Chain A
Amino acid sequence: MRVEVELAGPYIYQYGGRLHTVEVDEGAKVEDVLKKLGITERIYIVIIKNGKAAKLDDPLSEGDKLIVFPPVGGGA
């Protein structure tokens, strides 16, 4: 199945553009999409699925829309 993924902030540059269509197996979870895109961050990442906050192990369906936010971070 295919899901639409939008990357936000610096991820756009780090992972090759803003919009991606990702092909995953039936029964795939949110985390599988991150793996496909090569995104390694797991702790400070925020993922929105169809307009709602999602967890890494949330299941996916055909046509789901994800927005993947990098850690917003900041230090001094």
Chain B
Amino acid sequence: MTSTESVVSRYESLNRSIPRIDSEDKVRGTLLYVTDIRLENALYAFTFRSKVAHGKINRIETEDAEKVNGVKAVLTYKDIPSLNGYGAIVPEIPVLAYDKVRYYGEPIALVAAESVEAGLEALSRIKVDITPLPVIRSIEEALDDNAPKIHEKGNIARHTIVKKGNVDKARASAYVVLERTYETPMQKHMYLEPEGGVAYIDENGTLNVIAGGQTPYRDKLQIARVLGISPDKIRVKNSPTGGAFGGKDDVTVQIHLALLAYKTKRPVRLTWSREESGIAGFHRTSSKIKLRTAAAKDGTLLSNEAAIYLDSGAYQSFGPTILDVSIETINGPYRVPNYYIDAYLVYTNNGLASAFRGFGAPESNFAIESMMNELADELKMDPIDLRLKNILRTGETGPFNNIIRHSEGLEEALKRAKEVFYRPDPSTPFARTGVGVAVAIKGVGFGTLPDFPTAAIEVVPEGKVRIMFSNVDYGQGINTGNAQLVAEKLQIPVSQIEVYHSDTKYSPDTGGSSASRSTFNAGNALLAACEKALSELRLEAASYFMTSSSSVTYRGGNFYYKDRSINIYELAKRLRSRGKSTFFEATYEVPRYPEPVEGTLEVPHMVYMYGVMVSKVEIDEMLGKIRPLEVDFIADIGNVINPAIAAGQIEGGVIQGLGYSLTEYYSYDKDGRPLNINYTTYIVPTAKDSPMINVEFVRTYEELGPFGAKGVGEIGIIPVGASISDAVADAIGKRPYRLPILPWDFI
């Protein structure tokens, strides 16, 4: 429903752009990020990496390295106590390579030493004998019949077909059928803080791993599997992390740190250099998507045929579920009665692909939204009208047999987009301008995968409410947003709330920060914990007033009975004095469809975010210069908890998407060596490259969400590629089919 009353906060905590609760420490520079932590007596750790992108390991010699004065450990695969593997879906990524190397920079050995000098000296003395194998650098090469196999099972990590209706029949009756191939690049996250952290064994024998990450409880399980020990003996803390964007969702340094601390019994510090992060960190899957889409003369979509190929790199990590999101979003938010989706996840020797903001959606979005814009051209229709004609309406059955809970926000966003959809005047005699549009859809959370986030609150007699969840605040502002939700629920000021997050020692398992899920999942779990707290405190208040609990009212942190009142902290004191707990934990079951669509692991989702992006660009064809002038982004993210933080998420996503569209292309040379591994050669946009970005939110309310909220983290980046390339097409009359759109591609 589009409601105006229910979105207004009753207690002045919601819908307000309060400053982030951690901003003072950040502004003062006093906040210690995980890679800033220095432990006394810590060893310096380094990673010995393969200089061959694909090869058979014959021998690893570490004797010379072990002899270096000050070196405390040189570890290879032989030193791994249990499972030599990790990976968010399938544990197939070797912790340390043993039989083969499959990408340049793959870790082969670890060194821990008393000094940096000793560590580097040891690194230089490790010798490996590797027989090189042919390097597979692209999806095409991987799928060639004669291609060498990267894994025993071949070069296809996953293949699935998802279909509905009869595409041949639909196509035969169509007025227009377009067949196009779209390509998107590998993208690096380029967080300001590279992967790193510390590990130590404390006086209780617990192995502490404090490292940049997104999902502490999953990290903990992945570490335990490798060490062969009980997860109970491990603590993982991920905060504060200096940027992640999906690149720290799977394990990076955590297992290496744990292994070194476990073996040496000493504190260990391991931080990747920028270049190491560039070589060995994760990146976004590159994609190649062939589409054949058919429409009737009035613009009604009849069928969509897609062949989706994602480059997973040397191993899978999140590849299988990334492929699912690509499948789910390839039909856009549209009524597509007939489709045939043939999807492949492919192995190459291109490093490690994994999660990146959008998780398969930006890849598919570039294809389907570019296709929609070209269909509008062919049909001589307004591109926004074409969308309005085809979007699924509230209550309709979607392409994956899912019921569309809400789409009125998308309709309103499209109508608003029409008002700003015009071509601006050029500013120089050499410039041409263009306007473009694209629509984004993305599910919130893990679709049909079971998800039971647990969170807790503790009412502290000293006048504070502690809230505890395991999602990581890596800059997106979830600590503030969740504090606002709890403040609203308990009707208390945000200043009375203290946040304990992303630490398996204090925070229950709420899952991680990914999939735009933290507000929805942690928020709902926290609200459930608040309900428990209020119910318990109400009983205590009733006993204090010597009346029945139904006669007691609650307002603004106080319980009232007649002319008497008592606040929640006094009640907490009473409970504590009798040895009762004031800690309340609750688990929320994320609503989901019972079964995934056949052939997928998690399609479809129940709750979707939407975004419409209109972009205006100016192009100097003589110089090959594309300048984004202005972006209007109209989003439906449900009720907006903190408008400034939410708008910041969208602006950040848009700028990251502009890099993806115009300057960023992570690439490898013919030997499989990454070429652009730092900020000098991997070109992320700066503030100076950013256009004016106007973010608007349509007022909607998702009943399943906490106070009507959905999610926001990923929606900003998704439509950028298609929207910008549509504007480029409008300006120069030539449609781009590949991202990024580089100067030498069009002059």
- A residues sitting closer than 8 Å to B (CB atoms) are 6, 8-10, 13, 18, 44, 46, 48, 50-53, 67, 69-76
Contact = CB atoms under 8 A, between A and B. Distances in A.
Contact of A69 (B81, B224, B321, B325): B224
Contacts of B450: 10
B83 A48 contact: yes
Contacts of A76: 318, 321-322, 325, 355, 359-360, 442-443, 445-446, 514-516, 714
29 contacts: A8-B221, A8-B231, A9-B221, A9-B231, A9-B509, A10-B509, A13-B587, A18-B232, A46-B83, A50-B228, A51-B229, A52-B81, A52-B82, A52-B228, A67-B228, A67-B231, A69-B225, A72-B88, A74-B88, A74-B215, A74-B512, A76-B318, A76-B359, A76-B360, A76-B442, A76-B446, A76-B514, A76-B516, A76-B714
A75 B83 contact: no
Given A18-B232, A46-B91, A72-B88, 5 more contacts: A8-B224, A8-B230, A73-B89, A73-B446, A75-B325
A6 B230 contact: yes
A8 B471 CA distance: 19
> Which interface class (under 10, 10 to 19, 20 to 34, 35 or more) fits B?
35 or more
B601 A75 contact: yes
- Which of A46, A50, A72 is packed against the most chain B CB atoms within 10 Å? A72
Contact of B449 (A50, A52, A67, A73): A73
A26 B249 CA distance: 42
B239 interface: no
Contacts of B225: 46, 48, 53, 69
A9 B217 CA distance: 8
Interface of B: 81-84, 88-91, 215, 217-218, 221-222, 224-225, 228-232, 249, 318, 321-322, 324-325, 355, 359-360, 442-443, 445-447, 449-450, 452, 509, 511-512, 514-516, 587, 601-602, 714
Contacts of B82: 48, 51-53
Nearest to B600: A75
Contacts of A9: 217, 221, 231, 509
Nearest to A6: B230
B721 to A, nearest CB: 18
Nearest to B596: A75
3 nearest A-B pairs in the assembled complex, by CB-CB distance: A75-B321, A76-B359, A51-B228
Contacts of A71: 89
B221 A69 contact: yes
Nearest to A51: B228
A44 B229 CA distance: 19
Nearest to A52: B82
Given A10-B452, A67-B230, A72 B249 contact: no
Contacts of A75: 318, 321, 324-325, 359, 446-447, 449, 515, 601-602
A71 B225 CA distance: 11
A70 B222 CA distance: 10
Contacts of B229: 51, 67
B91 A74 contact: no
- Which of A13, A51, A69, A75 is packed against the most chain B CB atoms within 10 Å? A75
